[in-house]
Amino acid sequence: MTTTQKFTYDDLYSERSEDAPARTVAHAKYDFAVAYPAPESLPMYGLIDALKAKVDSDGEQVAREMAYYPHALGSPELREFTSEKLKADRNIDVDPDGIVLTAGSGEAIALLIQAITNPGDVVLTEQYVYGGTLTQLRKFQADVVGTPIDEQGIIPEELEETIKRLTAEGRKPKWLYTIPENQNPTGSTLPESRRRQILDICHKYSMPIMEDDCYIDLRFDGEVQPSFRALDDSGIVMYVASYSKLIAPGLRMGYFVASPELTQRALSFKHGSGPNQFAAYAITGFLKEGLQKHRETFNPILKEKSASMQKGFADHFAGTGATLSVPQGGCYAWLTLPEGADITAIRDEVFEGGVGYLAGPNFAPDGTGQNMARLCFAFETPEKNYDGMALLAQLFRKHGVM
Ligand SMILES: Cc1ncc(COP(=O)(O)O)c(C=O)c1O
């Protein structure tokens, strides 16, 4: 029997469900709105070769493991490699069983949020912060509050003031989320001295820190700073990182490290088994041989791309009062026009005109930042970064914001 009358779910949806149409991403001619690493540095054949080498050398093991669902914590070999990488790159001591691999670090963040957040709990973040985490915090009904930042990231004194003010209002913050290295969206890196101050403050107010180290491998200038987790192994730090920006988001591989008790709580929200085993073989094999070489390939590319965007800005925004942050790594620079210049309202027109960006309010817990935007310098070519900045300045003038 074929029934043509449309079945309706109108009275059947769960209370918690929301309309969430699958997002189709439109790309502007000069696409500064994306969050991708440099496409030309994706090691496609490196990954394929690594996978093939694994199948050739350990075929029986691969066949057996592929026939099972992956370990709940994810591939033992990739966890072992990640443990060594964390020691070498971040001076973090954690054994492979203390690492949970996830489908991108987005899943890691979601599991940890659910383990420590009740509806209404106050969670602090940087004043402007990665929109994906902001969305997840809101989904789990956290009361998200931004703490003031400058070009070096969170200002510790202001953090303590914010905690005191909220506590006096009866909204004592429960925990802090931060991206201390090559921050998304501002590109800042938090100096070690501030990290130590923030740890002291967090201990004083019994507030855990979720450290999101997503951009740790993407550094082309300046010095990497010690991670919160390396400075403090008391358990107060939840550490999250990803293979998305180091290799490719399409692999969907991230991870977290937390205290054993918290890890168990977080795992209670996990559905099914660990992440894709095939991707894990490819990542492990590729990085074991080629991590350093890969970094040496893509970081100079990022440096050149960042420099061309900076040059485009210097040549075409001079004398306008606009500023562009100067990142030492990551994928993003943060554009700020003088107060009152609303580049959020004209985003669609500027997109039609050829330049895509993500406007400030996408990153602001309080919805401010209408005169700000995140520009991704990692995706387009150096030439397009320069030309796109020239066109952006032209479009801002045309729309009367500059
Ligand atoms: C700071 C930060 N954390 C986490 C993520 C999530 O990345 P993934 O789930 O691909 O690991 C992103 C992606 O842009 C990010 O910028």
Domain parsing of the chain, residue ranges: 30-43+293-398, 45-288
How far is CA 184 from its chain centroid? 6
- Mutate which of 244, 255, 358 to test ligand 1's pocket (most atoms within 8 Å of Cβ)? 244
Report how far ligand 1's centroid is from the alpha carbon of 176 (Å): 17
Query: Taken in order 154, 156, 158, 162, is the CA torsion positive or negative?
Result: positive
What architecture is domain 45-288? 3-Layer(aba) Sandwich (3.40)
Radius of gyration of the chain (CA): 22
State if residue 331 touches ligand 1 by the CB under 6 angstroms criterion. Answer: no
Contact 122, 174 (CB under 8 A): yes
Q: How far apart are CA 13 and CA 87, in angstroms?
A: 47
Tokens representing 243 are: 């293979």
Residue with tokens 């010690």: 226
Q: For the CA atoms of 160, 162, 145, 167, what is the dihedral angle to 10 degrees?
A: 100
State if residue 186 touches ligand 1 by the CB under 6 angstroms criterion. Answer: no
| Bond into 185 cis (ω within 30) | yes
Report how far ligand 1's centroid is from the alpha carbon of 368 (Å): 22
Q: Which residues contact 107 (CB under 8 A, 6 or more apart)?
A: 254, 270, 275
What architecture is domain 30-43+293-398? Alpha-Beta Complex (3.90)
Nearest Cα residue to atom 14 of ligand 1:
35
Q: How, if at all, do strands 122-126 and 173-178 pair?
A: parallel
User: pLDDT digit of tens for each residue in the chain (402 aa)?
Assistant: 677 889 999 999 998 888 888 777 789 999 999 988 888 889 999 999 999 999 999 999 999 999 988 999 999 999 999 999 999 999 999 999 999 999 999 999 999 999 999 999 999 999 999 999 999 999 999 999 999 999 999 999 999 999 999 999 999 999 999 999 999 999 999 999 999 999 999 999 999 999 999 999 999 999 999 999 999 999 999 999 999 999 999 999 999 999 999 999 999 999 889 999 999 999 999 999 899 999 999 999 999 999 999 999 999 999 999 999 999 999 999 999 999 999 999 999 999 999 999 999 999 999 999 999 999 999 999 999 999 999 999 999 999 999
Report how far ligand 1's centroid is from the alpha carbon of 105 (Å): 6
Report how far ligand 1's centroid is from the alpha carbon of 227 (Å): 17
pLDDT of amino acid 1: 65
- At 104 the three-state DSSP class reads helix
Report how far ligand 1's centroid is from the alpha carbon of 212 (Å): 8
Q: State which H helix or E strand residue 266 sits in.
A: helix 260-267
Contact 195, 180 (CB under 8 A): yes
State if residue 249 touches ligand 1 by the CB under 6 angstroms criterion. Answer: yes
Report how far ligand 1's centroid is from the alpha carbon of 22 (Å): 18
Comparing CA positions, the residue from 287, 316, 318, 309 lying closest to residue 378 is 309
Report how far ligand 1's centroid is from the alpha carbon of 127 (Å): 18
Ligand 1 atom closest to 242 (CA): 11
Nearest Cα residue to atom 13 of ligand 1:
35
Nearest Cα residue to atom 3 of ligand 1:
214
Amino acid at 392: L
- Mutate which of 130, 133, 240 to test ligand 1's pocket (most atoms within 8 Å of Cβ)? 130
Q: How far apart are CA 222 and CA 219, in angstroms?
A: 8
Nearest Cα residue to atom 12 of ligand 1:
214
State if residue 35 touches ligand 1 by the CB under 6 angstroms criterion. Answer: yes
pLDDT of amino acid 26: 86
